[in-house]
Amino acid sequence: MTALPHLTRRDGVYYWRRKVRPLSTIICDIRVSLRTTDRVRAAILSRVLSAESEPIMAALEQSRITLAEARQYLRHVVKSHVTVDHDLRRDLRFIYGKPPCEIERQIVSGINDAWDILAEQGIGATISERVEQEMIAAGRTRAEVGMLRLILDSHFGPLLRSHVGAARRAAAFEEVNGRRINGPREEAQLLELHIEGMRAARAVAATPPARALAAEVMSQFGPARIAFSCDVERPDTQTPEISAVFAPTTAAPPIAAATPVEVQPTEPAGSDLDPSITAVIDRMIEFKRHADEGLEDKTARQYQAFGTLLQRIIGKTDIRSLLQSDLVKFRATLLKLPKSFGKSPADHTELMRWMPPPAGIVYHDGSIFA
């Protein structure tokens, strides 16, 4: 029986037996009758049961939620509740046009304070008379304290202590981690994670997603680059036209219209990245190839062909100099192209007769169109 540690025999009948330690002070002995006296058949059944019981035994012996499982559950709690809360607020403001009223402000403030109190004092926390007097002395109104007591005693407390709330948390944990909660220790851990996740979700909900996204986009640009299209170096001496404007004369001579000059935006001093369209597409292809999903060679060639076509149509190679008018021109030209364009290898080299490029454009490969 040394080769089959879970196989035992009693009165000529073979059994499958395995010990498990679900708690630190208890050892459970699981025994299943194989209902056979044939050793060969019993050995086969014992190996099957041992292999099938491995994941179950690991779950029974585990008494704590792992770090990865805790992160998955917290991510689920924060994402789901933040999404629902912001959808409700956005619908009230931009669909129904209802501004926040005083009662809504009290509810939101009470919910935020309730999760803070539950995280610090546990699910049995309540607002006593002494705590009420302290909160009123700190500047809270009696209505706000009453709303907080109502949320704690009538809503959050009973839901967190009930079997219904525990079943919901366990179902969400099983959905994101693929296993069930085992034992009271993991149930207590899950309850703590739920409270902390809801507390973090309410803190995140204070900033609308659109405002957070706008702040993230703004952080990528300097204020000067957004307020001004470009910075042109002005000469120390005034031009004749400017001198004529500020000259003490009764009638200023007409100023000739200045020819618009395309100025390339300056790159930050510490950056050595190539700003050409072809180089940007090459970096994107390299990034996508190292991503988890990967990138097919056919898709990479399509990206490169798109970049070549874009440069031919708009006559620019620097991605920093693209304007909205260039994109309008590019789209209008695409509508003129036949559906078969791009399927022939000759389309990648021959000059487009629908949109001839401007003279003197130098492309990334060194070719020049005169």
Strands 26-33 and 361-362: unpaired
Provide the pLDDT for residue 3.
Answer: 64
CA distances from 353 to 200, 307, 338, 366, 369 (A): 59, 18, 12, 21, 13
Sorted by where each begins, the domain ranges of the chain are 7-61, 67-211, 277-369
10-residue mean pLDDT series, the chain (370 residues): 73 84 66 87 86 68 73 81 69 61 73 85 83 85 84 83 88 87 83 87 68 68 53 48 44 46 48 82 85 79 85 86 84 76 62 49 48
In this structure, how many other beta carbons lie within 10 angstroms of the beta carbon of residue 54? 9
CA distances from 74 to 34, 118, 173, 234 (A): 43, 17, 9, 56
Provide the pLDDT for residue 88.
Answer: 62
Give the C-alpha separation, 154 to 146, whole Å. 12
Provide the pLDDT for residue 349.
Answer: 56
- CB burial of 131-169 (b: ≥16 within 10 Å; e: otherwise) equals ebeebeeeebeeebbebbbebbeeebbeebeeeebbeeb
- Decide: 181 and 168 in contact? Cβ < 8 Å: no
Provide the pLDDT for residue 222.
Answer: 57
Provide the pLDDT for residue 17.
Answer: 85
Provide the pLDDT for residue 218.
Answer: 65
Helix H or strand E encompassing 58: helix 39-61
Provide the pLDDT for residue 92.
Answer: 59
Give the C-alpha separation, 159 to 166, whole Å. 9
Provide the pLDDT for residue 359.
Answer: 44
